[in-house]
Amino acid sequence: MHRTAPQARTATDRVRRLLPGGLSTAVARHAGTWRERARRAAAALARPGTWKRGPVLTALAVLLGLLLLLHAHVPNRIGNAGSLVETFLPWFGAFVPLLLAGALWRRSPSAVAALLLPAVVWLNLFGGLLTDKSHPGADLTLVEHNVGAGNHDPAATARDLAASGADVLALVEVTEQALGTYEKELASAYPYHAVEGTVGVWSRLPLSDTRPVDAGMDYGPLAATKSAADKLPYNRALRTTVTTARGPLAVYVAHLGSARVNPRAGFWTAQRDRGAQALAEAVAAERNPHVVLLGDLNGSTDDRAFSGLTSQLRSAQTVAGKGFGFTWPAAFPVLRIDQILVRGVQPRSAWVLPRTGSDHRPVAAGVSW
């Protein structure tokens, strides 16, 4: 089939457009289009009132940035507000895309520019948690789990924990009724164990020098009259030594007092904070250079209440994990209140284990000397 003259000319024109000269013309046309768009955008920004759009959004963006930047200066005098802000500090980053959507909808360049402050500050605080920092080669695997006083199937929880392959298990909130079940189910995999009150350690390696640690629990006006033996059933912290091939490892297991948000008292953390201080003092007095603390601390390590601990110990999740490692509530975790903190050993990896019958999720870490 032969092309007609008009068809031939059309095909020739297409070929010419693909030749270098044609390409240059097309590029120039597109460049001109982009230049025109840039001029129109610059003119729009220069119009009177453009930068005044969305003043509320701009103010909220600046306040958000200042809150993230100066969170340590939020006072605790009123309702423990500083600790409450720091507990939920990572979640304040969720306001950045929300405010950005509002700024784009309002076509507010001032709000978009103001959002750079909270975005940069949040990334500086938490951006490092978004990368995977784990490495192989751990000498010891540690697991901590609040097994839950209301756990209806402690036997299944024990089997799940044993299947994790951990060398040392730290369990908190172990009730008197469930203790026998954990001892029975974990006996074959963990020949050594020690329990003080409602916290315990199960280990593949020998344990020694186990003793209770004052967790700052409030016994009220009768505290002065209670002996150590009287306090033991209510104790929620212990210290033991794990004998490893690399030497002795001091292991602390703790379950600190609860934190509650109360309309009258605000963020109530009195018992927890006393426990954190007591643990910090115990760790400071510890002579063994190799220390791990495993427990439900009922708070985030971003909270200033734990500065006595975090100044001495490092979070395994922060050093060798990926993400925030939230553990509570188990169905949809929004906070990491279960912690593995270390001193004198190097975290190689850290992760959160699948949900069990508890309202917390277990946490794990691999450490090396």
Q: Return the percentage of the chain with pLDDT > 70, whole number.
A: 81
What pLDDT was estimated at residue 33?
A: 75
The confidence band for 40, taking pLDDT boundaries of 50, 70 and 90, is: low
Percent helix, strand, coil in the chain, to 5, is: 45, 20, 30
What pLDDT was estimated at residue 14?
A: 54
State how far the Cα of 174 lies from the Cα of 152, in Å rounded to an integer.
12
Does residue 339 have a pLDDT over 60? yes
**Choice between 53 and 316, residue whose per-residue pLDDT is larger:** 316
What pLDDT was estimated at residue 262?
A: 82
Q: Where are any strands of DSSP class E within 164-268?
A: 168-172, 192-196, 199-203, 207-212, 237-244, 247-255, 260-262, 266-268
What pLDDT was estimated at residue 225?
A: 44
What pLDDT was estimated at residue 120?
A: 98
The confidence band for 366, taking pLDDT boundaries of 50, 70 and 90, is: very high
Does residue 36 have a pLDDT over 60? yes
Lowest mean pLDDT among 13-22, 149-158, 206-215, 279-288: 13-22
**Choice between 238 and 49, residue whose per-residue pLDDT is larger:** 238
Domain 132-368: CATH superfamily, name plus number: Endonuclease/exonuclease/phosphatase (3.60.10.10)
Does residue 18 have a pLDDT over 60? no
Average pLDDT score over residue span 160-166: 97
What pLDDT was estimated at residue 57?
A: 95
The confidence band for 264, taking pLDDT boundaries of 50, 70 and 90, is: confident
Which amino acid is located at 119 in the chain? A
Residues 315-337 as b or e (16 or more Cβ within 10 Å = b): bbbbbbbbebbbbbebeebebbb
State how far the Cα of 10 lies from the Cα of 16, in Å rounded to an integer.
10
Average pLDDT score over residue span 148-159: 97
**Choice between 81 and 227, residue whose per-residue pLDDT is larger:** 81
Which residues are CB-contacts of 133 (< 8 A; sequence separation ≥ 6)?
A: 319, 320, 321, 322
What pLDDT was estimated at residue 215?
A: 74
Q: Is the peptide bond before 329 cis (omega within 30 degrees of 0)?
A: yes
| pLDDT tens string 317-327 | 999 999 999 99
What's the whole-model pTM score?
0.83
Question: Please, what is the average pLDDT of the chain?
Answer: 87
Does residue 267 have a pLDDT over 60? yes
**Cβ neighbours, 10 Å, residue 212:** 17
Does residue 155 have a pLDDT over 90? yes
| pLDDT tens string 79-97 | 999 999 999 999 999 999 9
Separation of CA 350 from chain center: 11
| pLDDT tens string 274-296 | 999 999 999 999 999 999 999 99
The confidence band for 220, taking pLDDT boundaries of 50, 70 and 90, is: very low
Average pLDDT score over residue span 357-368: 98
Q: For 24-63, give the DSSP string.
A: HHHHHHHHHHHHHHHHHHHHHHHSTTGGGS-HHHHHHHHH
The helix/strand/coil state of 207 is strand
Tell me if 138 sits within 8 A of 364, measured CB to CB: no
The confidence band for 229, taking pLDDT boundaries of 50, 70 and 90, is: very low
